[in-house]
Amino acid sequence: MSEQIGRVTWINGPVVRAQGSRHVNMLDLVEVGEDQLVGEVIGMTGDVITIQVYEETSGMRPGAPVYTTGLPLSVELGPGLLRSIFDGVQRPLPVIEMRSGSFISRGMHLDPLYRKDRWNFTPKLKVGDSVSGGMILGTVPETEALEHRVMVPPNVRGALTWIAPAMQYTIDEPIARVRTESGEQELTMLQHWPVRKARPYKSRQGKAEPLITGQRVLDTFFPLAKGGTAAIPGAFGSGKTVTQHSIAKWADAQVIVYIGCGERGNEMTEVLQEFPHLIDPRSGRPLMERTVLIANTSNMPVAAREASIYTGITIAEYYRDMGYHVALMADSTSRWAEALREISGRLEELPAEEGYPAYLADRLAEFYERAGAVETLSGQTGSVSVIGAVSPPGGDFSEPVTQHTKRFIRCFWALDKSLASARHFPSINWLDSYSEYMEDVADWWRAEVGQDWYALRAQAMEILSEESRLSQIVKLVGSDTLPDEQRLVLETARLLREGFLQQSSFDAVDSFSTVQKQIRMLGLILLFHRQAQRIIKLGAPINVIHDLPVINTMIRMKTVVTNDDLTKFDDIEKNINEQIKKLETEYL
C-alpha cells in the first residue's frame, strides 16, 4: 500500500520537507526514511511536500525516501478500545513496552487493536434487513461494564445478505455482508475513521441533563450538561489534573476518554495503577472497564501531541454513536495549542498573538464543536461532554488560549492560585466561574432530587457574593465594626466555603458526593443561616452563635456522613434547631 512520493530535502525537528510527486493529498499519512517514521502531509507548494513527523527525527538525512499510505490519519475503532492506553497516534503503549522495553523507541508499526482476541458477537439484525450507517448489527460484551454495539459504518447502505451467527470472532473476521449500490461489502467489527473529521449523527438534541461529577462545587454551583463543554483554566499546581481525575472517576458517564496531552508521565501511571482497583459505584465494576487512555506525555514527540486530541475525540464519538454518554477530558489543551504553535513556527508561518498561528481559534472551535448531545444515526441518544484543562502562562487568563477557549465553551471553572496556596481545594473560584447550563439542568434536579436546587443555589451564591463585598470592608476596619447580621453572613460564608465548597479528592468519604448528599448539606447550612438570622433579629449576639458546637459539626459533616447513610443529616438538623432554640429562650 506504500508508494514512494519523494525524497526529504530539509529537516527541522518534527517538520520535514520533501520533493517529489504533485499527486499527494493534504493530510495523507506518510512514512519517512529507512525507519519509516509516521508523519502527515500538512502543506504542499508545487512539488514540495511539508510533513509533520510524529516521532523524533534525530539522525534523519536529506535524500531519505518518503512513502504515502494514500489514507488520512485514522483511528481503529472496535472492541478492545476500553481498558487500553494508546499514544497520540493510537499506538498501544503496553505492546510498545513488550517490544522495546521501558523506553519508547522509534519507527514501531503496531496495530492499535489486538487482532487475536475473540469477542462474543450476538447478531441483532437478520438477512434481508435493509441497513444504513450507524445501525446496530450486533453486540459484544466488551467489558463487564459496557456492551459494545457493533455498528454499520456511516457510509454503508444496502441490504444485509449475510450475518454471522452468535459466536466468537476476532475483529478482522467477517460478521456481515451488505449488498450496496457498488457491490457486496463485507463488514468486520473493525472500522477506521479519519481523526480530523467529525463522525456523523442525525441531529443535535436540545434537552439537557447534568453530567453528575460528585464534585459539589461543580454539580451544585457550576453544572455541566451531558454533551456540554467546560474549560478548567489554572496556574500550575492549582488543581486541574486532580479535578479531571476526579471527574474521570466519578462522573455518571458510561465511557471515559482521558487524554494526557503534553503532561506528566507519572500522572498517566497513576491512572493506570489506580483505575483497575477503583470500583465504579454505578456498574460495580473497576473503573478501567469504561476508560480509554491516550497519553502523549510532555517528553513525547510534539507532533503526536497535536494529533492526540483528535484521536481521543474520534474514539469518544464512536461510543456516542452506540448511544452512550461519553465524557472526554483533555489535560492540557494548552500543550496542544503550543504544539500547533511549534509546528507553525517551524513552518515559518506568520504568527498572530504570542506566536500562536492565526488559525488557533478555528482549531479550538472545531474541537469543542465535536462535543454535543445527539440523536445518533440509529435513533438513540448519545453525548460527548468535553472538559479541557487550560494552562495559562503565569496563571494569567488574558492569554490567547484561555481567551479563545472561553468563546467556545459554556462552563468556565476558574481555578484560583491564591485559593490553592491556602489549600482550599478544589480551588474553583466561585465568583469568577460560570455555567450556562443552569436553566437547562434545573428541571432534572427538580425531577430527580425533588428539592428546589435552583433557589438554594441562588441563596448560597448570594451569601458568597455578599461575603466578598463585606470582606473589602473587613480588610480595612476588621469585622468587629460590622452589624451582627453582616457578621452572620461572614460566618455562613465560611461554613459554605469550608463545609461545602472545599472537597478533598483524597478523602475516602469526601471525594465523591451524591446529589442527594450535596443538596442536603446545602440545605442544612442555609437552614442554620435562616435560623441564626431570626434570633439575631431577636437580639442574640453573633459571638454566641459563633460558638455553637453545631458549626463545627457542619464543617465536618462532609467527611462524617457517608453517601449511603444520609440519615445522620437528620441528627444535624435536630442539633441546629435545638441549639438555636436554646439561644432563643436565653435571649428572649
Partner 1 sequence: MSDALDLGVNEVVGVSRIEGPLVFVEGTGSIGYDEVVEIIDARGQMRLGRVLEVGEGIAVVEVFAGTTGLSIDGTRVHFLGKPFHIPVAEEMLGRIFNGLGKPLDGGPAPLADRYADINGQPINPTARVYPVDYIQTGISTIDGLNTLLRGQKLPLFSGAGLPHDRLAAQIVRQAALGAPAGQSSAKSEQFAIVFAAMGVKHDVASYFRDSFTESGALTRVTMFLNLADDPPVERLVTPRAALTLAEYLAFERNMHVLVILTDMTNYCEALRQISNIRGEVPSRKGYPGYLYSDLASLYERTGRIKTSEGSITQLPILTMPNDDITHPVPDLTGYITEGQITLNRDLDHQGTYPPVAVLPSLSRLMKDGIGEGRTRADHSHWSSQLFAAYAHVQDVRALASVIGEEELSKADQQYLKFGRAFEQEFVNQGLTENRTIETTLDIGWRLLSMLPKEELTRVSPGEIEQYYMDSHGAH
Ligand X SMILES: Nc1ncnc2c1ncn2[C@@H]1O[C@H](COP(=O)(O)OP(=O)(O)OP(=O)(O)O)[C@@H](O)[C@H]1O
The footprint of Mg ion on residues 223-252 (CB under 5 A) is 240-241
Name the binder of 210 from Mg ion, partner 1, ligand X, none, CB < 5-8 A by kind: none
C-beta closer to partner 1: residue 139 or 215: 215
Among 238, 291, 378, 380, contact with ligand X (rule: CB under 6 A): 238
**Residues in 168-187 that interact with ligand X by CB under 6 A:** none
Residue 234 contacts ligand X per CB under 6 A: yes
| Among 174, 1, 189, CA closest to 113 | 189
**Residues in 333-372 that interact with ligand X by CB under 6 A:** none
**Residues in 480-539 that interact with partner 1 by CB under 8 A:** 480, 498, 504, 506
Q: How far is the CB of 268 from ligand X (least distance, A)?
A: 12
Name the binder of 273 from Mg ion, ligand X, partner 1, none, CB < 5-8 A by kind: partner 1
Task: Give strand pairing partners of 203.
Answer: 375
Crossing angle between the packed helical segments 484-494 and 453-477, to the nearest 10 degrees: 120
Name the binder of 239 from partner 1, ligand X, Mg ion, none, CB < 5-8 A by kind: ligand X
Residue 504 contacts ligand X per CB under 6 A: yes
Residue 297 contacts ligand X per CB under 6 A: no
In angstroms, the CA 405 to CA 26 distance is 27
Q: How far is the CB of 581 from ligand X (least distance, A)?
A: 36
| Among 377, 466, 368, CA closest to 410 | 368
Question: Cell 523524533 identifies what position?
Answer: 56
Question: Cell 460495580 identifies what position?
Answer: 284
C-beta closer to ligand X: residue 278 or 352: 278
The secondary element (H helix, E strand) that includes residue 48 is: strand 48-53
Q: What are phi and psi of 263, to 5 degrees?
A: -115, -160
Residue 380 contacts ligand X per CB under 6 A: no
Q: In the structure grid, which three cell numbers stand for residue 226, read together?
A: 451531558
The secondary element (H helix, E strand) that includes residue 147 is: strand 147-151
Q: Are 357 and 365 in contact (CB under 8 A)?
A: no
Name the binder of 544 from ligand X, Mg ion, partner 1, none, CB < 5-8 A by kind: none
| Beta strands 28-32; 37-45: pairing state | antiparallel
C-beta closer to partner 1: residue 94 or 379: 94
Residue 237 contacts ligand X per CB under 6 A: yes
In angstroms, the CA 240 to CA 152 distance is 38
Among 27, 42, 48, 96, contact with partner 1 (rule: CB under 8 A): 96
**Residues in 42-61 that interact with ligand X by CB under 6 A:** none
Q: In the structure grid, which three cell numbers stand for residue 382, read together?
A: 448519545
In angstroms, the CA 175 to CA 164 distance is 5
Residue 401: HSE in the Cβ half-sphere, 13 Å Cα cutoff: 25
Residue 425 contacts ligand X per CB under 6 A: yes
Q: Are 397 and 403 in contact (CB under 8 A)?
A: yes
Q: How far is the CB of 475 from partner 1 (least distance, A)?
A: 7
Residue 239 contacts ligand X per CB under 6 A: yes
In angstroms, the CA 232 to CA 215 distance is 14
Q: How far is the CB of 301 from partner 1 (least distance, A)?
A: 8
Among 48, 242, 449, 482, contact with ligand X (rule: CB under 6 A): 242
| Among 427, 385, 432, 384, CA closest to 406 | 432
**Residues in 11-40 that interact with partner 1 by CB under 8 A:** 11-13
Residues 6+ apart with CB under 8 A from 313: 195, 257, 328, 367, 370, 384, 386
Stretch that binds partner 1, among 69-77, 179-187, 216-224, 391-399 (CB under 8 A): 391-399
Within 422-548, where are the H helices? Answer: 438-448, 453-477, 484-494, 515-537, 542-546
Q: How far is the CB of 240 from Mg ion (least distance, A)?
A: 5
Residues near partner 1 (CB under 8 A), total: 73
Dihedral sign (CA 361, 68, 178, 169): negative
Name the binder of 233 from ligand X, Mg ion, partner 1, none, CB < 5-8 A by kind: none
Residue 505 contacts ligand X per CB under 6 A: yes
Residue 261 contacts partner 1 per CB under 8 A: no
Q: How far is the CB of 97 from partner 1 (least distance, A)?
A: 5
C-beta closer to ligand X: residue 185 or 505: 505
Among 23, 45, 46, 58, contact with partner 1 (rule: CB under 8 A): 58
Among 83, 264, 285, 497, contact with partner 1 (rule: CB under 8 A): 264
In angstroms, the CA 190 to CA 188 distance is 5
In angstroms, the CA 17 to CA 579 distance is 77
**Residues in 419-458 that interact with partner 1 by CB under 8 A:** 421-423
In angstroms, the CA 250 to CA 339 distance is 30
Q: Are 254 and 324 in contact (CB under 8 A)?
A: yes
**Residues in 506-525 that interact with ligand X by CB under 6 A:** 506
Residue 236 contacts partner 1 per CB under 8 A: yes
Report the chain's terminal Cα–Cα distance, integer Å: 91
Name the binder of 62 from ligand X, partner 1, Mg ion, none, CB < 5-8 A by kind: partner 1
Q: Are 395 and 238 in contact (CB under 8 A)?
A: yes
Q: How far is the CB of 313 from partner 1 (least distance, A)?
A: 20
C-beta closer to ligand X: residue 120 or 298: 298
Residue 559 contacts ligand X per CB under 6 A: no
Q: How far is the CB of 235 from partner 1 (least distance, A)?
A: 8
* Residue 55 identity (one-letter amino acid): E
Name the binder of 426 from ligand X, Mg ion, partner 1, none, CB < 5-8 A by kind: ligand X
Name the binder of 139 from partner 1, ligand X, Mg ion, none, CB < 5-8 A by kind: none
The secondary element (H helix, E strand) that includes residue 66 is: strand 65-72
Stretch that binds partner 1, among 92-100, 249-257, 373-381, 433-441 (CB under 8 A): 92-100
| Beta strands 3-12; 15-20: pairing state | antiparallel
In angstroms, the CA 318 to CA 306 distance is 20
Each residue 247-286 as x (binds ligand X by CB under 6 A) or -, in order, gives ----------------x-----------------------
Q: How far is CA 278 from CA 83, 144, 272, 353, 506, in A?
A: 13, 15, 11, 43, 13
Q: Residues interacting with ligand X, by CB under 6 A?
A: 234, 236-242, 263, 391, 425-426, 503-506
